[in-house]
Amino acid sequence: MPLSNIRQIKMQQWSDKHCCVCKKRMNKWDERCSRAIRTQPTCEECLAKKFDKTVQELNDWLDEVYQIRSCQFK
């Protein structure tokens, strides 16, 4: 496994919440996005679908509107 993948796994912080749409376990970034948009706990992928955007477009929009950025270890 490449070092970047190991680093990403270590940096990932999981939440005890699950997405209200797809029921996947959410991470802290998903929670932060949901709180910023003021929705029920929803994962990043489902939020992007809800707003008819790609995940990258959603991240750009969150950066522009709310000045929040995801972890850049990808």
Nearest-Å Rg of the Cα atoms of the chain is 12
Q: Does any domain span residue 60?
A: yes
pTM over 0.75: no
DSSP state of 24: P
Domain residue limits at 30: 14-66
Q: Does any domain span residue 8?
A: no
Q: What is the pLDDT of residue 72?
A: 56
Q: Does any domain span residue 6?
A: no
Distance (Å, whole) CA 68 – CA 66: 6
Q: What is the pLDDT of residue 10?
A: 44
Q: Does any domain span residue 25?
A: yes
For 4-55, what is each residue's pLDDT tens digit?
454 454 456 888 899 999 999 999 899 999 999 999 999 999 999 999 999 9
Q: What is the pLDDT of residue 23?
A: 95
- Domain count along the chain: 1
List the structure tokens of 10: 């270590």
Provide mean pLDDT across the span 61-71: 87
Q: How far is CA 67 from CA 4, 10, 35, 51, 61, in A?
A: 25, 25, 13, 18, 9
Q: What is the pLDDT of residue 13?
A: 80
